[in-house]
Amino acid sequence: MGSFLSMASSSIKHARSEDDEVFQNEICKRRRMSSGFDEESPRLIPNLPDELSLQIIARLPRICYFNIRLVSRKWKATVTSSELYRLRKELGTTEEWLYLLIKVGESKLLWHALDPRSRRWQRLPAMPNFVNEEESRKGSSRLWMWNMVEGIRIAEVIRGLLGQKDALDEMPFCGCAIGAVDGCLYVLGGFSKASTMRCVWRFDPIQNTWSKVTSMSTGRAYCKTGILNNKLYVVGGVSQGQAGLIPLQSAEVFDPSTDTWSNVPSMPFSRARVLPTAFLADMLKPIATGLTSYMGRLCVPQSLYSWPFFVDVGGEIYDPETNSWMEMPAGMGEGWPARQAGTKLSVVVDGELYAFDPSNSLDSGKIKVYDQGEDAWKVVIGKVPIYDSADSESPYLLAGFHGKLHVITKDANHDIAVLQADLRNSTTPLPPLSFHEFPEQAVAESDAVVWKVVANRDYGPAELVSCQVIDI
């Protein structure tokens, strides 16, 4: 009996040993197959040359890259390589995504990317929460979160400009400028406590990371940015002086290919020099209130102000070919609509310059287009469907992608909505549109425009801050 049990036990152990060996062999086989695909195989797709595989991947929607990078380390390296995105440009398969900056509560800034084709949102990594150590020593030793990007009201800036520095002493990091060039986002300058910053941060959507790049030569806040010839221009803004904030006339340009800044001739502010009396010249401060790249030049509308009064004084245009400034045509400068006091919002779509005119009401507004031949602004959209959001500092933004004008705003449910305006005839003024609510898929029509919701998203009480479009 004992011999039988001993033989049975031995057989069971032998069977288990064989099962374990088969199991281990299967695991090793799977590992070899996985390893071979990941490490040993010289090709992205078995039996296909990598050149052909790259052609296939370059034609896939970019939203797919978030998943296919998980296939293997080689696939991840491919979808994060500059070679793939150069090929996408050659093939004409690049995609324009909208990058939206919102503010949650008093201190939290969040970046989100929207793929308009799939209507899917992606959250970006958080921006760095520190500033350059050398620059920090100029102000407070305490480091504040980047909790407001262009988020404080213009009144705070004006009070600082008039020498009331108490508000500045309590001011957290704010007043940054936002730009996009060569497929990357840039966050430039701003305040850290009472000091204006030179630091510049870049977000690379291919690598999905933030990094610090060469700082500007001048610390500035509330400056304006524009793109010409694949270079990022920064003009104006304010700097901290002994008596408060000082408006800047200086400008500089960043070349992302060399990571270097170069000086640009300062804005003359020629209109500010012809004031009739020295008293007015001392009281009215000139400031750049916008910047748009149009017809290969930088158009900078300007204002004179003495809080709470703003006076439009036209503007100036920078020509990179002559490296000089000239006075803006009278009709363009004097008729440039103002988003709010001291800020003029505009965007170029398909070669046309558009600007938003709030019409003295947050829940109303018009879109105007600039007629270069007549040097005049003309209404092309008589009513923009903007829900009343008086508690927001940026109730609307303008963007251009897919060859269409877009308005980003809040709807009646307080969701962020991206609205597309399909202009049927850009020279025909529109009758007013008559709706304020636009749930997803809603469409409003008139004889000359079709408004439709490209995408919307519930971000709670978040406020709009800024947006950029990147084509990669």
pLDDT tens by residue, 322-341: 999 999 999 998 888 876 65
CB count in 10 Å sphere of residue 66: 12
pLDDT at 438: 45
In a domain, 305, yes or no: yes
Same domain, 329 and 251: yes
Is the confidence at residue 428, as pLDDT, over 60?
no
Alpha-helical (H) ranges within 59-153 are 65-68, 73-79, 82-91, 133-136
Is the confidence at residue 427, as pLDDT, over 70?
no
Q: How far apart are CA 420 and CA 266, in angstroms?
A: 37
Same domain, 373 and 329: no
Q: Provide the CATH number for the domain around residue 202.
A: 2.120.10.80
Same domain, 253 and 376: no
Is the confidence at residue 352, as pLDDT, over 80?
yes
Q: How far apart are CA 94 and CA 92, in angstroms?
A: 6
Same domain, 73 and 135: no
In a domain, 102, yes or no: no
Same domain, 14 and 85: yes
Q: pLDDT band for 348, please (50, 70, 90 cuts).
A: very high
- What percent of the chain clears pLDDT 90, i.e. is strictly above it? 45
Q: Could you tell me the sign of the dihedral formed by the alpha carbons of 124, 130, 131, 133, in that order?
A: negative
Is the confidence at residue 45, as pLDDT, over 50?
yes
336-348 average pLDDT score? 78
- Smallest CA-to-CA distance from 143 within 106, 192, 176, 213 is with 192
- Smallest CA-to-CA distance from 249 within 325, 158, 173 is with 325
Q: How far apart are CA 164 and CA 156, in angstroms?
A: 9
pTM equals 0.79
429-456 average pLDDT score? 56
Same domain, 162 and 235: yes
129-150 average pLDDT score? 39
Q: Are 114 and 455 spatial neighbours (Cβ–Cβ below 8 Å)?
A: yes
In a domain, 104, yes or no: no
Is the confidence at residue 378, as pLDDT, over 70?
yes
Q: pLDDT band for 11, please (50, 70, 90 cuts).
A: very low
Tell which wins on pLDDT, 267 or 19: 267
Token couple for 368 = 């105007």
Tell which wins on pLDDT, 128 or 91: 91
Q: How far apart are CA 67 and CA 78, in angstroms?
A: 13
3-state secondary structure of 278: helix
- Of the ranges 22-31, 121-130, 393-402, 447-456, which one carries the lowest mean pLDDT score? 22-31
Tell which wins on pLDDT, 86 or 173: 86
Same domain, 85 and 136: no
Q: Could you tell me the sign of the dihedral formed by the alpha carbons of 287, 290, 293, 294, in that order?
A: negative
- Of the ranges 18-22, 78-82, 222-226, which one carries the lowest mean pLDDT score? 18-22
Is the confidence at residue 295, as pLDDT, over 90?
yes
Is the confidence at residue 444, as pLDDT, over 60?
no
Token pair 């700082």 in the structure block, residue:
215
> What are the C-alpha distances in Å from 66 to residues 43, 79, 208, 231, 412?
20, 9, 10, 29, 33
Q: For 61-106, how does the pLDDT look when each residue is reduced to its tens digit (9 = 90+)?
A: 999 998 998 889 999 999 999 999 999 999 999 999 999 998 887 6
| Domain closes at, from 275, 303, 338 | 338
Q: How far apart are CA 160 and CA 150, in angstroms?
A: 15
**Residue type at 263?**
N
In a domain, 35, yes or no: yes
Token pair 């988003």 in the structure block, residue:
339
Token couple for 296 = 């290969």
In a domain, 107, yes or no: no
- Of the ranges 30-34, 310-314, 430-434, which one carries the lowest mean pLDDT score? 430-434
Same domain, 136 and 272: yes
- Smallest CA-to-CA distance from 362 within 321, 395, 400, 338 is with 395
Token pair 């989100």 in the structure block, residue:
112
Token couple for 61 = 């929607």
pLDDT at 278: 55
pLDDT at 203: 96
Is the confidence at residue 159, as pLDDT, over 50?
no
DSSP states of 199-258 = -EEEEETTTTEEEEEPPPSS--BS-EEEEETTEEEEE--EEEETTEEEE---EEEEETTT
> What are the C-alpha distances in Å from 50 to residues 40, 41, 358?
14, 11, 53
**Residue type at 280?**
L
Is the confidence at residue 166, as pLDDT, over 80?
no
pLDDT at 280: 60
3-state secondary structure of 19: helix
> What are the C-alpha distances in Å from 179 to residues 33, 38, 237?
46, 38, 14
Number of domains in the chain: 3
Considering 75-89, 118-132, 190-204, the range whose residues carry the highest mean pLDDT is 75-89
CB count in 10 Å sphere of residue 258: 9
Helices (H) and strands (E) in the chain, counts: 10, 30
- Smallest CA-to-CA distance from 220 within 174, 267, 164, 185 is with 174
| Domain closes at, from 288, 308, 338 | 338
pLDDT at 161: 43
Same domain, 174 and 300: yes
DSSP states of 403-456 = TEEEEEEE-TTS-EEEEEEEES-TTS--PPP------TT-EEE-SSEEEEEEEE
Q: How far apart are CA 166 and CA 147, in angstroms?
A: 19
Same domain, 296 and 436: no
Token couple for 69 = 């990078």
**Residue type at 455?**
A
In a domain, 97, yes or no: no
10-39 average pLDDT score? 45
Q: Could you tell me the sign of the dihedral formed by the alpha carbons of 327, 330, 332, 335, in that order?
A: positive
Same domain, 151 and 241: yes
Is the confidence at residue 346, as pLDDT, over 50?
yes
In a domain, 13, yes or no: yes
Question: What range defines the domain where residue 51 resides?
Answer: 2-91
In a domain, 369, yes or no: yes
Tell which wins on pLDDT, 85 or 448: 85
User: What mean pLDDT is reported for the chain?
Assistant: 77
> What are the C-alpha distances in Å from 228 to residues 35, 179, 299, 315?
47, 12, 11, 18
Q: Is the peptide bond before 308 cis (omega within 30 degrees of 0)?
A: yes
Is the confidence at residue 357, as pLDDT, over 60?
yes
16-44 average pLDDT score? 50
pLDDT at 15: 44
Q: How far apart are CA 19 and CA 415, in angstroms?
A: 58
Is the confidence at residue 227, as pLDDT, over 90?
yes
- Smallest CA-to-CA distance from 222 within 243, 246, 205, 255 is with 246
pLDDT at 361: 58
Residue length of the chain: 472
Is the confidence at residue 220, as pLDDT, over 60?
yes
443-456 average pLDDT score? 72
pLDDT at 364: 67
| Domain closes at, from 297, 319, 338 | 338
Same domain, 140 and 87: no
